[in-house]
Structure 1
Amino acid sequence: MKPPIEISIDVTEAAGLGIPAQTAISVFLPEDGALADPPVVCFAFPGGGYSRHYYSFDMPDGTGGGEAGFHCDRGWIFVACDHLGFGDSTIPEGNALNLDNVAAANHATVGAIVARIESGTLAEGLPSIANATTLGIGQSMGGCFAVVAQGNWSTFDGVGILGYSGIHTIVPTRPGQPAMAWPWISRRSSLDAPKIMNDYTPTAPEPGGEHPFQWSFHYDDEPADIVALDMAAAAGVADPLPVWRSATTPPCGVYMVAPGAVALEAASIRVPVLIAVGERDVVPDPWAEPKAYKSATDIGVYVCPRMGHMHNFAHSRTLFWEKIHNWGEGVAALRAISRGTG
């Protein structure tokens, strides 16, 4: 895998925020002559509190380049993207962002990169590539935004929803601990004056105790120092911030934990869908998830063993990546056959 190409994409018009807006992306290319046939471009979107580097950082037992390296070594172009409100992308003030304008900016980002790939202007030495299969994978909140983009604009040829429920996302706590309470906020209401639909009473974690996300986010056999660093970042006390983390997450993420938050968009998706989760995740019943994607005729479900919600930290992560890769290759092969080129 070559060093990444760092690019900023102007999404001012798509986002419609009334301010200049750009998304930050890292493009990872396979070695010369190693491009998959048929070609695949995979766009990857991180979850709340994480940056695009979630897809390229290495665990201590890693072999180089994280998930981006894994897919590039097998011939894919891999594009890791910071949403608006995350990482190095534009961070608007207040509650300017919502699920729709973030997804619109992501759609515009994908279109800009695909245009450069097709014209041969993405990178020196990379020829023009026509009709590449585009995949969108999103972890957690990134999966939510991928559903909204696909439902509204048909952004990708296939979508991988990784650790997000199209029915109801619920963050579990360690057995024996109180369940976490989340407000169910209607997307029709602004966060400046949110309409809370459930009987919501905030729960406060015990002082000095384990972070309430730890049990669901990280499997028990992960390196303790890495887990501690990640949870310190979740608590806002990590200094410096680990490379895989974002200093900001837009408040609009709270919409995604309401039941049916993206039900209409999920039901409208017509391309192949991969539902992939860890053994311990925020999707209460993975085998029920296909019911959310009522228009998709090709749906796969995968539950990866020994894995928490933050998939790329798990010792079993290469199993997860292999499943994503095999699924994506299948999408590309079927698409080539339907176009008469396979």
Structure 2
Amino acid sequence: MRTVDVDIDVAPEVGQQAGLTTAATICLPDEVPADPVICFAFTGGGYNRSYFTRDLLGDGTPSQAELHTSRGWIFVAVDHLGCGGSTRVRDMAEVTWQHLVDANESTVRGVLRLLSAPGGRDDLPTVESARVLGLGQSMGAALLILQQGQNHTFQAVGVLGWSARHAVSWLPPGAPRSTPVYFPRGTDVGVMTRALHTTAMPEMAPDEHGLPATASGFHYDDVARELVLADLVDYPLRRGRLPFWATDVIPPSSMTMMSPGAVAAEAAMIRAPVFVGVGERDVAPHPRSEPAAYLQSSDVTVYMQPCMGHMHNFASTRLTFWNRIHAWAEGVLLEPAPITAGIDMATAGAS
């Protein structure tokens, strides 16, 4: 797998400070097919694009990007606005969900322009037509639902580790749980912060190792203890040493994503095929009820992976999960769409 890092200017679309860019890694197969799948992957809160592109366990198994590119896909891992390698925003409290969605939409368009420009860059192939897929994990999945419902960007979408109805953290049986706090989209960050400070959240109280009760939902029992500690001590603030897959920035507006029905309106607008992929322990309490959220999609697949927590790519069963995603995508992405420098993404994703 060959990788090319790019920065995409998103300032005009986002309307925030000048000079804003998002960072993406374009992962290329050894030989690019005539009509490849171009897969855009968006990370969860607290993680950067290395979550998709690198060997997280250090055991020599391929990353998710390597598995897909070995079968001919172009895989594009994206850092959200203000996170990871993307430009730091002066005040993340001013970054709304809509800013994040607009930045991701602009990133997709920018990468497709790079890939469709004949002779545009020596380190990138020229792609005339492709099948365009969106994958999102956790917060990235919530943002993907919003993006697809608003713009119909992709020909199919994989919603990984999220619920379009109500995302709820998995906790061990009998563990105390706080009462959900409802934040309408657009709620002032200061209002949300004050509300959370006055709400008891026993599931986030650290144990003697600094791990919250939610840790067993993030990582299944067979994940190495040292890996769990590296990932979740001080999560989500990550005030200590950052592992290579992590970012210490989570948009404060993401606090609204745990509200019931936070992305329901956009989910109901999605027409493309949807893959709902969750671990045995995940934030979708009733996975089999998820298809009801996608009212306009005629093709909704639900897959529940045993021996997997919310952070899928750390799980011992991750290869099985990725293979299932790949087989599903190849099955539903039958017709390539033209890729041009001025691509109309609404048309490309209108299948």
Q: TM-score, normalised by structure 1?
A: 0.91
- Contact map agreement 1:233 1:241 (CA 8 A) in 2: no
Deviation sequence 1:115-155 (CA, Å, 0-9, x none): 12122456526542122111110000000010111111111
Contact 1:233/1:242 (8 A) holds in 2:
no
User: Which residue type is aligned with residue 7 of structure 2?
Assistant: S
Letter in 2 for 1:164: W
Q: Is 1:144 paired with 2:142? A: yes
Contact 1:229 1:238 in 2 (8 A): no
Counterpart for residue 270 of structure 1: 271
Letter in 2 for 1:56: T
Question: Judging changes above 3 Å, is the alpha-carbon distance between structure 1 residues 121 and 331 closer, same or farther for their aligned structure 2 residues?
Answer: farther
Q: What code does the residue aligned with 1:55 have?
A: F
Identify the residue that residue 51 of structure 1 maps to in structure 2: 48
The alpha-carbon deviation at position 225 of structure 1 amounts to 1.1
Q: Does 1:76 align with 2:77?
A: no
Q: Structure 2 stretches of 5 or more lacking a match? A: 338-347
Moved more, 4-13 or 322-331: 322-331
2:208 corresponding residue in structure 1? 208
User: What's the offset of the Cα at 1:334?
Assistant: 5.0
User: How high is the TM-score relative to the length of structure 2?
Assistant: 0.88
Name 1:19's counterpart in structure 2.
Answer: 18
The percentage of counterpart residues that share the same residue type is 39
Q: Distance in 2 between the 1:194 and 1:163 partners?
A: 24
Contact between 2:96 and 2:186, CA under 8 Å: does it hold in 1? no
For residues 21 and 78 of structure 2, the distance between their equivalents in structure 1, rounded to whole angstroms, comes to 11
Partner deviation per Cα, 1:35-75 (whole Å, 9 max, x = no partner): 345310000000011111110221233324x1011111111
Is contact 2:33–2:72 with CA below 8 Å preserved after alignment?
Answer: yes
Q: In structure 2, what is the Cα distance between the partners aligned to 1:175 and 1:122?
A: 55
**1:182-331 maps to which residues of 2 (within 5 A)?**
182-194=180-192, 201-204=199-202, 205=205, 208=208, 210-234=211-235, 236=237, 239-331=240-332
- The range that moved more, 79-88 or 324-333, is 324-333
CA distance in 1: counterparts of 2:16 and 2:7, whole angstroms: 17
Deviates further, 163-172 or 234-243: 234-243
Aligned 8 A contact 1:172 1:179 in 2:
no
How far did residue 197 of structure 1 move? 10
Partners of 2:335 and 2:287 lie apart in 1 by 25
- Using the alignment, how far apart are the partners of 2:136 and 2:260 within structure 1? 19
- Quick one: distance in 2 between partners of 1:163 and 1:121? 38
Change (3 A) 1:207 1:27: same
**CA distance in structure 2 between the partners assigned to 1:241 and 1:110 by the alignment:** 27
Which runs of 5 or more residues in structure 1 are unaligned?
A: none
Amino acid at match of 1:283: A
Code of the residue aligned with 1:326 in structure 2: it is A
Which whole-Å CA distance do the structure 2 matches of 1:160 and 1:62 have between them?
26
Q: 1:241: Cα distance to partner? A: 0.6
Residues paired across the two proteins, number = 332
Distance of 2:285 and 2:110 partners within structure 1 = 36
Query: C-alpha deviations, 1:254-313, integer Å up to 9, x for none?
Result: 111001101111000011110000011000011100111101111111001100000000
* Segment drifting more, 172-181 vs 210-219: 172-181
CA contact (8 A) 2:237 2:249 kept: no
Q: Please tell me whether residue 165 in structure 1 is matched to residue 166 in structure 2.
A: no
Q: Which amino acid aligns with 2:301?
A: G
Rounded Cα–Cα distance in structure 1 between residues aligned with 2:266 and 2:157: 13
Q: Distance in 2 between matches of 1:271 and 1:228?
A: 38
Distance 1:12 1:120, change over 3 A: same
Deviation of 1:12 (Å): 0.3
Q: Cα RMSD between the aligned structures? A: 2.3
Q: For residues 106 and 334 of structure 1, what CA distance do their matches in structure 2 show? A: 24
**More RCO (CA 8 Å, sep 6+):** 2
Residues 236, 248 of structure 2: 8 Å contact kept = no
2:176 is matched with which residue?
178
Q: 2:109 aligns with which of 108, 111, 119?
A: 111
Question: What is the CA–CA distance in structure 2 between the aligned matches of 1:107 and 1:8, rounded to whole Å?
Answer: 14
Q: Relative to structure 2, which stretch is displaced further, 86-95 or 188-197? A: 188-197
Q: Comparing 210-219 with 301-310, which one deviates more in the overlay?
A: 210-219
